[in-house]
Amino acid sequence: MDEIYLVSSPLQGEDEVVYMGIKERLKRYGEVIGPDPKENRIFAHDYFLFIRAKKLVAQITNPDSGLKVGQAIGRILERNYLHPSGQKRQILCLYGPKFDENSFPFVDIQDIWNYQYKNLEEAVSLVDKFFTLFEKKQSTA
């Protein structure tokens, strides 16, 4: 079973409900690993988790210092450019309804799938869409 690294920006109110819904849905596709959503940065042991994971899913709803979501995405992108294309890790960024995508530096990068959701149902649907797309690609390869 593949490992999926789930990371989020600081959670507030409804964001926690969406985070837990995304986490539950991800369990259909693999083992969910990642930092405590209440932590504001990534620690050394987390680094080994996201390097090991086949996919990274980031829930981004509030500004992040870059020590958590930004660092995880940056490290995976760095790893992707150093390895053959068959070993690249896929990245899904889900933006909450109040998020200003202009404040996030990874919006226009080709290797990142960026989607904005309005509610939990839409976020879960986007997770399904992302994983279905990659399952199809793997089966035709």
Domain ranges of the chain: 3-140
Give the pLDDT of residue 125: 97
Q: What is the pLDDT of residue 19?
A: 92
Looking at residue 110, its pLDDT comes to 73
Q: Are 67 and 91 in contact (CB under 8 A)?
A: no
At residue 86, the pLDDT reads 67
Rg, the chain, Cα only: 14
How much is the pTM?
0.85
**Residue 89 in contact with residue 53, Cβ under 8 Å?**
yes
Query: What is the Cα 82 distance to its own chain's centre?
Result: 20
Per-residue model confidence as pLDDT tens for the chain (141 residues): 789 999 988 787 888 899 999 999 999 999 999 887 777 666 677 777 877 888 999 998 876 666 678 888 888 888 888 876 667 888 999 988 877 666 666 666 777 888 889 999 999 999 999 999 877 655 555
- Position 85 scores a pLDDT of 67
Among the four given CATH numbers 3.40.50.450, 3.10.105.10, 3.40.50.970, 3.40.50.720, the one describing domain 3-140: 3.40.50.450
